[in-house]
Amino acid sequence: MKNTVKQEVISEQRYRAICRNIYGYVLGGNIVFGILSVILFVAVIGQLIEGKDGMWSTLFIAYYALVFFLLCNFMRLLFKRLKESDTPFRYDIADKMKGAAGVLTFGSLAGMVLFIVYMLFFYSAALPDFFIVQTVNIVILVIGMILQAFALIFEYGCKLQQESDETL
């Protein structure tokens, strides 16, 4: 009996340590992508004013930096809540997962459409290959859909947790 309790305490400590570590990583990512987004958007404005080529490439990179900044922000909030919570099955955690999934899904779909429109009207050899960009967008979309599925699983877990708490 003592051994089982000790293992549970160690497992919970390990869980909280992992959540703290991931929180630190996504906080760092949030800062890096935030700074990168600002720098890139300033670079786009500078390229627009000076009329330099490559503005569209910089704009696409800035767009994805912004998408990943928003993703890191949702993940930071998610892991902050996870490291403080006694159970991962909470509605606010599922909502943060849905937000992150939405950022990835919408960000990739919007990126696909914007890139196709750009290729049709403003094509520049400075942009990466069409298939590479669209493949990356599809991968991001699939990751967003998987995260959405996990959010729904967590939401269902929240419902079960609430029912279990009410019966006790």
Q: Are the C-beta atoms of residues 78 and 100 closer than 8 Å to each other?
A: yes
| Short-list 73, 80, 77, 79, CA closest to 33 | 73
Q: Are the C-beta atoms of residues 66 and 37 closer than 8 Å to each other?
A: yes
Which residues constitute the domain of residue 67? 2-167
Q: How many domains does the chain have?
A: 1
Alpha helices in 51-125 (DSSP H): 55-84, 91-121
pTM equals: 0.84
Read off the pLDDT band of 155 (50, 70, 90). Answer: very high
Mean pLDDT score of the chain, rounded to an integer?
Answer: 88
pLDDT value at residue 29: 95
Enumerate residues 6+ apart whose C-beta is below 8 A from 73. Answer: 30
Read off the pLDDT band of 168 (50, 70, 90). Answer: low
